Amino acid sequence: MHDLPHAEHGKKAQTKLTRYDRMMARRKPKKGQVASKGYREAKKWRAKAYKKVARQREDTGRKWAKKVVCDHDAIAVEDFRPKFLAKSTMARKAADAAIGATKAALIEMGRKHGRDIRLVHPAHTTMDCAHCDARAKHALPLGERTYTCTACGTVSPRDKNSARVMLVRAGLNPAGADGGRPPGALLQEAA
Protein backbone atom coordinates (compact mmCIF):
# COMPACT_ATOMS: atom_id res chain seq x y z
CA MET A 1 0.00 0.00 0.00
CA HIS A 2 1.49 3.30 -1.13
CA ASP A 3 -0.10 6.66 -0.54
CA LEU A 4 0.50 9.43 -3.03
CA PRO A 5 1.91 12.44 -1.19
CA HIS A 6 -0.50 15.31 -1.81
CA ALA A 7 1.63 18.26 -2.93
CA GLU A 8 -1.41 20.61 -3.18
CA HIS A 9 -0.12 22.49 -6.24
CA GLY A 10 -3.56 23.98 -6.92
CA LYS A 11 -3.94 25.23 -3.36
CA LYS A 12 -0.53 26.91 -3.55
CA ALA A 13 -1.38 28.64 -6.83
CA GLN A 14 -4.87 29.69 -5.71
CA THR A 15 -3.85 33.22 -4.61
CA LYS A 16 -2.36 33.96 -8.05
CA LEU A 17 -5.35 32.47 -9.84
CA THR A 18 -7.78 34.48 -7.71
CA ARG A 19 -5.82 37.64 -8.44
CA TYR A 20 -5.95 37.02 -12.19
CA ASP A 21 -9.68 36.26 -11.97
CA ARG A 22 -10.27 39.60 -10.24
CA MET A 23 -8.18 41.42 -12.86
CA MET A 24 -10.23 39.80 -15.63
CA ALA A 25 -13.51 40.62 -13.88
CA ARG A 26 -12.56 44.31 -13.55
CA ARG A 27 -11.47 44.55 -17.17
CA LYS A 28 -14.17 42.40 -18.74
CA PRO A 29 -15.43 44.01 -21.93
CA LYS A 30 -19.10 44.74 -22.46
CA LYS A 31 -20.95 42.53 -24.91
CA GLY A 32 -19.96 43.31 -28.48
CA GLN A 33 -16.81 45.26 -27.50
CA VAL A 34 -13.23 44.21 -28.14
CA ALA A 35 -11.30 43.04 -25.07
CA SER A 36 -8.71 45.48 -23.74
CA LYS A 37 -5.00 44.73 -23.66
CA GLY A 38 -5.14 44.43 -19.85
CA TYR A 39 -7.94 41.86 -20.05
CA ARG A 40 -6.08 39.80 -22.64
CA GLU A 41 -2.88 39.89 -20.55
CA ALA A 42 -4.70 38.85 -17.37
CA LYS A 43 -6.35 36.01 -19.31
CA LYS A 44 -2.95 34.92 -20.64
CA TRP A 45 -1.37 35.00 -17.13
CA ARG A 46 -4.29 33.00 -15.72
CA ALA A 47 -3.95 30.36 -18.45
CA LYS A 48 -0.20 30.20 -17.84
CA ALA A 49 -0.73 29.65 -14.10
CA TYR A 50 -3.26 26.86 -14.75
CA LYS A 51 -0.88 25.21 -17.20
CA LYS A 52 1.94 25.33 -14.64
CA VAL A 53 -0.27 23.65 -12.01
CA ALA A 54 -1.27 20.95 -14.52
CA ARG A 55 2.38 20.26 -15.38
CA GLN A 56 3.32 20.10 -11.68
CA ARG A 57 0.52 17.61 -10.97
CA GLU A 58 1.52 15.48 -13.95
CA ASP A 59 5.18 15.51 -12.89
CA THR A 60 4.36 14.53 -9.30
CA GLY A 61 2.16 11.67 -10.54
CA ARG A 62 4.83 10.37 -12.94
CA LYS A 63 7.56 10.46 -10.31
CA TRP A 64 5.39 8.64 -7.76
CA ALA A 65 4.31 6.05 -10.36
CA LYS A 66 7.92 5.36 -11.35
CA LYS A 67 8.95 4.88 -7.72
CA VAL A 68 6.08 2.43 -7.09
CA VAL A 69 6.70 0.50 -10.32
CA CYS A 70 10.45 0.20 -9.68
CA ASP A 71 9.83 -1.12 -6.15
CA HIS A 72 7.21 -3.79 -7.06
CA ASP A 73 6.77 -6.57 -9.60
CA ALA A 74 2.97 -6.82 -9.35
CA ILE A 75 0.60 -3.97 -8.54
CA ALA A 76 -3.13 -3.93 -7.80
CA VAL A 77 -4.85 -0.61 -8.54
CA GLU A 78 -8.40 0.34 -7.71
CA ASP A 79 -10.21 1.01 -11.00
CA PHE A 80 -12.12 4.06 -9.77
CA ARG A 81 -13.70 6.69 -11.96
CA PRO A 82 -12.52 10.25 -11.22
CA LYS A 83 -15.88 11.63 -12.49
CA PHE A 84 -17.54 9.97 -9.49
CA LEU A 85 -15.26 11.90 -7.12
CA ALA A 86 -16.10 15.16 -8.91
CA LYS A 87 -19.63 14.85 -7.51
CA SER A 88 -18.44 14.27 -3.95
CA THR A 89 -17.29 16.60 -1.20
CA MET A 90 -13.70 15.62 -1.97
CA ALA A 91 -13.91 17.06 -5.50
CA ARG A 92 -11.41 19.87 -5.04
CA LYS A 93 -8.83 17.68 -3.30
CA ALA A 94 -9.30 14.89 -5.85
CA ALA A 95 -8.77 17.35 -8.70
CA ASP A 96 -5.74 18.87 -6.99
CA ALA A 97 -4.18 15.44 -6.49
CA ALA A 98 -4.88 14.59 -10.17
CA ILE A 99 -5.67 11.02 -9.17
CA GLY A 100 -7.03 10.09 -12.58
CA ALA A 101 -3.83 11.20 -14.32
CA THR A 102 -1.76 9.50 -11.62
CA LYS A 103 -3.60 6.20 -12.13
CA ALA A 104 -3.00 6.49 -15.88
CA ALA A 105 0.70 7.24 -15.26
CA LEU A 106 0.97 4.20 -12.97
CA ILE A 107 -0.59 1.90 -15.57
CA GLU A 108 1.59 3.33 -18.36
CA MET A 109 4.76 3.13 -16.27
CA GLY A 110 3.91 -0.46 -15.29
CA ARG A 111 3.50 -1.48 -18.93
CA LYS A 112 6.70 0.33 -19.88
CA HIS A 113 8.70 -1.52 -17.23
CA GLY A 114 6.99 -4.88 -17.80
CA ARG A 115 5.20 -5.07 -14.45
CA ASP A 116 2.00 -6.94 -13.72
CA ILE A 117 -0.70 -4.26 -13.24
CA ARG A 118 -4.15 -5.47 -12.20
CA LEU A 119 -7.21 -3.27 -12.00
CA VAL A 120 -9.62 -4.06 -9.17
CA HIS A 121 -13.29 -3.06 -9.15
CA PRO A 122 -13.71 -0.46 -6.38
CA ALA A 123 -17.07 -1.61 -5.04
CA HIS A 124 -17.05 -2.45 -1.32
CA THR A 125 -13.25 -2.52 -0.88
CA THR A 126 -13.62 -0.63 2.40
CA MET A 127 -16.61 -2.67 3.57
CA ASP A 128 -15.28 -6.22 3.03
CA CYS A 129 -13.15 -8.11 5.55
CA ALA A 130 -9.79 -9.21 4.16
CA HIS A 131 -9.70 -12.27 6.41
CA CYS A 132 -13.15 -13.83 6.14
CA ASP A 133 -14.75 -12.03 3.14
CA ALA A 134 -17.71 -10.82 5.25
CA ARG A 135 -19.26 -7.49 4.26
CA ALA A 136 -20.18 -4.76 6.73
CA LYS A 137 -23.86 -3.83 6.76
CA HIS A 138 -23.18 -0.08 6.55
CA ALA A 139 -20.51 1.98 4.80
CA LEU A 140 -17.88 3.27 7.20
CA PRO A 141 -17.69 7.05 7.60
CA LEU A 142 -14.37 8.56 6.50
CA GLY A 143 -13.59 9.65 10.04
CA GLU A 144 -13.53 6.03 11.23
CA ARG A 145 -9.99 4.83 10.52
CA THR A 146 -10.24 1.34 12.08
CA TYR A 147 -12.07 -1.57 10.44
CA THR A 148 -13.70 -4.08 12.78
CA CYS A 149 -15.26 -7.21 11.25
CA THR A 150 -18.56 -8.19 12.83
CA ALA A 151 -18.22 -11.80 11.63
CA CYS A 152 -14.70 -12.80 12.68
CA GLY A 153 -13.80 -9.92 15.03
CA THR A 154 -10.64 -8.90 13.14
CA VAL A 155 -9.51 -5.35 13.89
CA SER A 156 -7.13 -3.62 11.47
CA PRO A 157 -6.43 -0.15 10.09
CA ARG A 158 -9.02 0.69 7.45
CA ASP A 159 -6.51 1.39 4.65
CA LYS A 160 -4.55 -1.82 5.29
CA ASN A 161 -7.73 -3.89 5.25
CA SER A 162 -8.80 -2.25 1.99
CA ALA A 163 -5.37 -2.84 0.42
CA ARG A 164 -5.46 -6.49 1.45
CA VAL A 165 -8.97 -6.89 -0.04
CA MET A 166 -7.67 -5.41 -3.31
CA LEU A 167 -4.72 -7.82 -3.36
CA VAL A 168 -7.03 -10.79 -2.82
CA ARG A 169 -9.42 -9.61 -5.55
CA ALA A 170 -6.51 -9.08 -7.94
CA GLY A 171 -5.38 -12.65 -7.33
CA LEU A 172 -2.04 -11.60 -5.88
CA ASN A 173 -0.47 -13.16 -2.80
CA PRO A 174 -1.49 -10.82 0.03
CA ALA A 175 1.41 -11.86 2.27
CA GLY A 176 3.21 -8.77 3.41
CA ALA A 177 0.20 -6.45 3.31
CA ASP A 178 0.11 -6.66 7.09
CA GLY A 179 3.20 -8.79 7.59
CA GLY A 180 1.32 -12.08 7.89
CA ARG A 181 0.95 -15.06 5.62
CA PRO A 182 -2.33 -15.88 3.94
CA PRO A 183 -4.20 -18.98 5.17
CA GLY A 184 -2.85 -22.14 3.53
CA ALA A 185 0.53 -20.60 2.60
CA LEU A 186 2.44 -23.26 4.58
CA LEU A 187 0.51 -26.06 2.84
CA GLN A 188 1.39 -24.66 -0.59
CA GLU A 189 5.10 -24.36 0.27
CA ALA A 190 5.25 -27.93 1.65
CA ALA A 191 3.76 -29.46 -1.51
Domain ranges of the chain: 10-26+40-118, 123-173
pLDDT along the chain (191 residues), means of 10: 68 88 91 90 93 90 89 85 66 72 88 90 84 82 83 86 86 60 44 38
Q: Which are the contacts of 184, defined by CB distance < 8 A and separation ≥ 6?
A: none
The amino acid occupying position 9 is H
The structure's pTM equals: 0.66
- Please tell me whether residue 131 adopts helix, strand or coil conformation: coil
CA distance 10 to 97: 9
Q: What is the CA radius of gyration of the chain?
A: 22
